[in-house]
Amino acid sequence: MNTTDTSAPLYRRVGQDLWEFILAELKPKGKLLTPFNIISAPIILLGLVLIVFRFTKGLGAATNLSQEFPWGIWIGFDVVTGVAFAAGAYIVTFMVYVLRMEKYHSIVRATVLNGFLAYVFYAGALALDLGRPWKIINPIIGNSFGVSSVLFLVAWHFLLYMMAQFIEFSPAIAEWLGLRKLRKILGTLTIGAVVFGICLSMLHQSGLGALFLLAPAKIHPLWYTEYIPVLFIVSSVFAGMSIVIIEGTISHRVFRHQISAEHHAKHMDIMVGLSRLAAAALFVYFFMKILVLTHGMHWNELLTPMGYLYLVEVLGFVVLPFIIFVKGAKNRDRKLLLSAAIITALGIIFNRLNISVIAFKWYAPVHYMPSWIEIVVTLAVVFGEIWAFRWVANRMPVFMESPQWVKHLDREVEYPVPKGAVANINSKTAALQPVKIKK
């Protein structure tokens, strides 16, 4: 990734023309020829070409989907896995805004931004997979609500949650653009959006699993269980945490110059805390997997090829990262935590693909394999998300401190001066005194 020239003025200053500022910001910042760019740019370009190909030649030409396998990696990876990876946003906002764990406040914006973009890109990739995408608004305003469908619920939740996340992130945009009044209003919406967003997340994280409840005869008994929704929501916790840890570690290096010294010092604490949470979720998940296996009485299936796959998933991608997380958190070892997070993330990919693609119709003589086009487009989606993330992080206060005026504004919101009365606040500390803002 590239680096930013820190001498450039941050955010829009008072009196600066808004459009002029936005036009200036559209220009790329930093070096263009970085190893990451050299790899990702051609893939994104090729991906765009292939998307055009998909829409001009049809799904049959672009994908290996068939009557037997109607869903491939565009659903199994992009949507089902991508949404699990975006779970960090609802967990971190829950910790910070509901449980008031202030320690994690500094990673909220990066996590919410990552979650929002993940939904826009990964869930947006859903439109590529739709055979009749011009009907995509039907479940929303098409006056034909399939209310007994889990997918209906998931579709609505995607839409609403994207809006909630946008509201959660929007103060950063207002700060970037120097829009004080708007920032003041948006700041008050955060808690509502957070609570609403967490409800939506819980339901559609589990809902994505519940989609597969309708295929009891097609998914291998080791993976099919009526508890799929519960397993999905529990695994979304460590899926989200692993991505927050990976993203946090990389961002910490890439956006190093943007991060304040105070946040720097706390970074390891945050990573250790998140790792502990991930480890706890992994343990709960493992326990539930054992319960489900015991109740399902599918022990005999374990010694079949699919059984080996199941064992690899549970032992290699649940138990192993659990142990590494615990060890890494104990020793405060950055490398161990990162490797545990990477194994966990790979395990989530493996698990979601198992349910949606690999263990789906495991009995079919010819199984689906993604076409190269499907793979390139998927990579392009992932890289596109990273580019968008970098673009925003290089401009808006994601890792950087908010502009000075925000602090005054927040205090004004928290301690409003009642009309015609003296503010009744704990006035022992001068810092808490209401501050008037001059415009």
Partner 1 sequence: MKTTRRKFLQFAGVTAGASLLLGPKNTFSSVPPRNTSQQYAMLNDTTRCIGCQACERACAEKNCFPIPEMKPEIDTPRNTSTEALTVVNAYSTDNKGIVFNKTQCMHCDQPACVSACLVNAMYKTKEGPVIWREDKCMGCRYCMIACPYDVPKFEYGSLNPKIKKCIMCYDRLQESKIPACAEACPQEAILFGKRGELLDIAKKRIYDHPTKYVRHIYGEQEVGGTNMLYLAGVPFEQLGFRTDLGTIPYPEYTKTFLYSVPLALLLAPAFMLGLRQATKGKNDKD
User: What is the contact mask toward partner 1 in residues 66 to 85, using x (rule: CB under 8 A)?
Assistant: xxx-xx--------------
How far apart are CB 426 and partner 1 at their closest, in Å?
8
The burial class, CB within 10 Å (0-12 / 13-18 / 19+), for 224 is: buried
Full 3-state SS string of 232-255: HHHHHHHHHHHHHHHHHHHHHHHC
152 or 391: whose CB is closer to partner 1? Answer: 152
Binding characters for partner 1, 238-277, by CB under 8 A (x = yes): ----------------------------------------
- Residue 152 sits in the site that holds partner 1 (CB under 8 A): yes
Residue 145 interacts with partner 1 (CB under 8 A): yes or no: yes
What span, in angstroms and rounded, lies between the C-alpha atoms of 408 and 377?
45
Nearer to partner 1, 129 or 247 (CB): 129
Contact 253, 103 (CB under 8 A): no
Among 125, 153, 241, 359, binds partner 1 (CB under 8 A): 153
In the region spanning residues 217 to 236, those forming contacts with partner 1, defined by CB under 8 A, are 217-218, 226, 229
Minimum CB–partner distance for residue 284 and partner 1 (Å)? 19
Residue with tokens 């959006």: 193
**C-alpha 26: how far from its chain's center?**
24
Cβ count near 189 (within 10 Å)? 15
162 lines the binding site for partner 1 (CB under 8 A): no
The nearest distance, CB 379 to partner 1, in angstroms, is 23
Identify the helix (H) or strand (E) that includes residue 283. Answer: helix 261-296
Decide if residue 322 touches partner 1 (CB under 8 A). Answer: no
What totals of helices (H) and strands (E) does the chain contain, helices first?
18, 0
Q: Which of 23, 133, 291, 330 binds partner 1 (CB under 8 A)?
A: 133
* 27 scored as a contact of partner 1 (CB under 8 A): no
The CB-of-161 to partner 1 minimum distance in angstroms stands at 12
Query: Is 184 a binder of partner 1 (CB under 8 A)?
Result: no
Contact flag: residue 199 with partner 1 (CB under 8 A):
yes
In the complex with partner 1, the residue whose CB is nearer, 59 or 435, is 59
- The dihedral built from the CA positions of residue 163, 169, 171 and 177, taken in this order, carries a sign that is negative
Q: Which residues pair with 219 in a beta bridge?
A: 360
Q: Does 139 bind partner 1 (CB under 8 A)?
A: yes
Binding-residue total with partner 1 (CB under 8 A) = 68
Q: Is residue 249 within 8 Å of 271, Cβ to Cβ?
A: yes
Q: Does 147 bind partner 1 (CB under 8 A)?
A: yes
Helix axes 150-177, 108-118, angle to 10 degrees: 130
Please tell me whether residue 60 binds partner 1 under the rule CB under 8 A: yes
Q: What are the tokens at 318? A: 């649940």
214 near partner 1, judged by CB under 8 A: yes
Nearer to partner 1, 268 or 432 (CB): 432
With both helix axes pointing from N to C terminus, report the angle between 180-210 and 150-177 in degrees, rounded to the nearest 10.
Answer: 160
The one-letter code for the residue type at 42 is P
Interatomic CA distance for residues 239 and 232, integer angstroms: 10
Question: Does residue 360 sit in helix, strand or coil?
Answer: strand
**Which stretch, 7-15, 201-209, 279-287, 345-353, contacts partner 1 (CB under 8 A)?**
201-209
Q: Scan residues 327-366 and list those touching partner 1 (CB under 8 A).
A: 360
Among 11, 74, 85, 97, indicate the residue that binds partner 1 (CB under 8 A): 97
Contact 207, 236 (CB under 8 A): no
* Residue keyed to tokens 């909630």: 164
Quick check: 433 binds partner 1 (CB under 8 A)? Answer: no
Comparing CB distances to partner 1, the nearer of 18 and 130 is 130
Q: What is the DSSP string of 129-157?
A: H-SSGGGTTHHHHSS---TT-HHHHHHHH
Residue ranges in contact with partner 1 by CB under 8 A: 55-61, 63, 65-68, 70-71, 94, 97-100, 129-133, 135-136, 138-139, 142, 144-153, 155-156, 160, 191-192, 195-196, 198-199, 202-203, 206-207, 210-218, 226, 229, 360, 414-415, 426, 432
